[in-house]
Amino acid sequence: MPVPNNNSQPPAAWCYSGNQIKRWRTLANVSREALATAANYAPETISSMERGVRMPSPRLLDIADELCGAQGMLSAAKEYVRRERYSARAVDFIEREREATSLWTYEVALVPGLLQTRAYAKALIDNRIPPLDEETVEERVTARMERQTILTARKPPVGLSFVLYEAVLRSQLVDEEQLQRLLEVSRLRNVVLQVLPFDKAFANALEGPMVLLEGPDHDRCAFMEGGLASEFSADPGVVSRVTERLSMIRTRALDPDETARLIERMVGRRE
């Protein structure tokens, strides 16, 4: 199954629903400003939704439906846009994650989504520039929490290996609740959690997060993310390089017992 290197296009459901809002609004002779006032959004936000750049919120769809006399045609789109609760860059990755039989994850700055508390996830998602509207924030936080069913709900269990650079744990965003969550997950039989200490890091380990996924047919994909771009590839050369890099990182990281003791000490200092 071929995998695109990136997913920079907005989800089709966003684009189609936004286009329909604009068409119904124009047909009903409702200005963008009038719709913005009725929905309590800025006109620029309505424009973004109509262009598919931002997810049309369920509330906007209902208000536009009533204001434009769409007789349920716009409200019906809520079922479909709610399915697109991830950023355009993440859609391909999430689909592969759902099918994965094993994942190796390395994070250099943030707690991985599968290990985040709800409070930590909301702090990250709600602190974007440009900011997301409140409904989109809640949708994405809920979606991130639902992804965590992979930790315990799959049978047979998914093999999960996480390595966190020490800087992840030292962040001000990581509170006692988040540290306790890491300890809780680390006790699962199908999870290995390690920390790469500052003094064991090497240049390639500081370049950014990486994930290696293996599917039911033993096919592997690699995901690498940067600030403005990400790469998701099944190319054997890319997969081989990511596998080599992750293997080296795991070798230099603290073992799971040492990692648990480190986190426990950090919890003690924050109590």
Instruction: Return the CATH number at 19.
Output: 1.10.260.40
Same domain, 136 and 249: yes
Per-residue pLDDT band for 1 (boundaries 50, 70, 90) equals very low
User: Is 163 within a domain?
Assistant: yes
Residues 19 and 152 in one domain: no
pLDDT of 7 reads: 45
Residue 7: inside a domain: no
Whether residue 213 sits in one domain with residue 255: yes
Q: Are residues 23 and 112 in the same domain?
A: no
pLDDT at 18 over 90: yes
Residue 159, beta-bridge partner list: 102
Last residue of a domain, one of 81, 99, 114: 81
Q: Which long-range contacts (CB under 8 A, 24 or more apart) does 252-258 make?
A: 252/196, 252/200, 252/201, 252/202, 252/205, 253/163, 253/194, 253/195, 253/196, 253/197, 253/200, 254/194, 254/195, 254/196, 254/197, 255/194, 256/186, 256/192, 256/193, 256/194, 258/195
Q: Crossing angle of helices 176-186/118-125, nearest 10°?
A: 120
Q: Specify the 3-state DSSP secondary structure of 160.
A: strand
Question: Is residue 68 located within the same domain as residue 107?
Answer: no
Range of the domain at 161: 88-268
Please check the confidence at residue 2 and state whether its pLDDT lies above 50: no
Residue type, 88: A
Strands 220-225 and 191-196: unpaired
Please name the residues in contact with 225: beta carbons below 8 A apart, sequence gap of 6 or more. Answer: 89, 208, 209, 231
Cα separation of 42 and 53, whole Å?
15
CA distances, 242 to each of 13, 59, 70, 125, 238 (Å): 33, 42, 50, 27, 6
Q: What distance in Å separates the CA atoms of residue 43 and residue 45, rounded to the nearest whole number?
A: 5
Which pLDDT tens digit goes with each residue over 200-246? 999 989 989 999 999 988 899 999 876 656 788 889 999 999 999 99
pLDDT tier for residue 268 given thresholds of 50, 70 and 90:
confident
Q: What is the mean pLDDT of residues 172-179?
A: 96
Mean pLDDT of 172-181: 96
Least reliable range by pLDDT among 48-57, 69-78, 131-140, 174-183 = 131-140
From 40, 22, 42, 20, select the one nearest 31 (Cα to Cα): 22
pTM (whole model) above 0.85: no
The residue behind tokens 């690498």 is: 224
Nearest to 166 by CA among 197, 200, 206: 197
Contact 237, 142 (CB under 8 A): no
**Residues in a beta bridge with 103:** 160, 213
Tell me: pLDDT of 98 over 90: no
